[in-house]
Amino acid sequence: MIIALASEDSRGLDSILSHHFGRCPYYTFVEVEGKEIRNTISEKNPYFDAHNPGQVPAYINSKNVDVMISGGMGARAVDFFRQFGIKPVTGVTGTVKDVVQAFIEGRIDGVEPCEESKAHGH
């Protein structure tokens, strides 16, 4: 399984999870087998400065991702990820390592609309 995480920096497992998936500076891709982390790669967000709806989910999908985790995500993005068969998970904070561990252990799951999305009625 490959888990993508919106990240504030490129420190891999030590990165801090970003609040917003589309406007994060980096993505950390974590390969997990069973309950074990196998590999980690950090990449700059190619759409950090600007993106159109659906571009970031398409980019994440191109990386063969199974799960997308970020602090927050709008309802429209959630729908795009689900259309690609990617499970969105939001409403969490911490380091990439702690968040991945919590996901692997089943302590986090599901989507909670971000405050920005709620404020705009999405």
pLDDT of residue 54: 85
CB atoms within 10 A of CB 69: 28
Please write the tens of the pLDDT for every residue from 82-103.
999 999 999 999 999 999 999 9
pTM: 0.90
- Tell me how far CA of residue 47 lies from CA of 13, 32, 34, 80, 117, in angstroms: 22, 25, 31, 16, 19
* CA nearest to 93, candidates 102, 106, 81, 83: 102
pLDDT of residue 111: 85
3-state secondary structure of 51: coil
Q: Identify the segments of the chain with pLDDT beneath 70.
A: 113-122
Task: Give the residue numbers spanning the domain of 11.
Answer: 2-119
CATH number of the CATH domain containing 89: 3.30.420.130
> How many structural domains comprise the chain?
1
pLDDT of residue 115: 54
